[in-house]
Amino acid sequence: MDERLSNSFGSLQPDEAVPMSVGTPPDGRAGWPNFGHPANLEERAERDVVMPTGTCTGWNEPKGFGFVRLDGPRSADLFVHRTNLRGSALWLEQGQRVEFEVGLDNRTGKQQALNVRLI
């Protein structure tokens, strides 16, 4: 008799551990086990995240920074440094549309645009 155990995730030897990752269910209980499905949780998380968008309101090339205005009713100008540009962008031009993450500047404690990409 085959001693392998089968389930919807494949088959295991009786002494083999069940592959498991930790996720968060819809009701928000942290630490809820996700038994390896979907196979690539990080890829799914990136695909499901909606990034804030905005427009570049100005760029100071010699100093390597500028500002982007967040779209929406809570629009605000956020600082962006050249080191936070991603993809092919080496600088921004006024009026360019971008997507980004919002984070805090450790030095000033103010919000800033991180991982800025052209759209």
Query: Mind listing the pLDDT tens digit for each residue in 73-89?
Result: 878 899 999 999 999 89
pTM of the model: 0.58
Burial class (CB in 10 A: 0-12, 13-18, 19+), 18: exposed
> What are the pLDDT digits (tens) for 80-119?
999 999 998 999 999 999 999 999 998 999 999 999 999 9
Q: Extract the tokens encoding 33.
A: 């086990």
Residues 6 or more apart in contact with residue 119 via CB below 8 angstroms: 53, 97, 98, 99
Region 38-44: mean pLDDT is: 49
Domains of the chain: 5-48 (no CATH), 53-118 (2.40.50.140)
Phi, psi (deg, nearest 5) at residue 47: -70, -35
Would the pLDDT of 71 be above 60?
Answer: yes
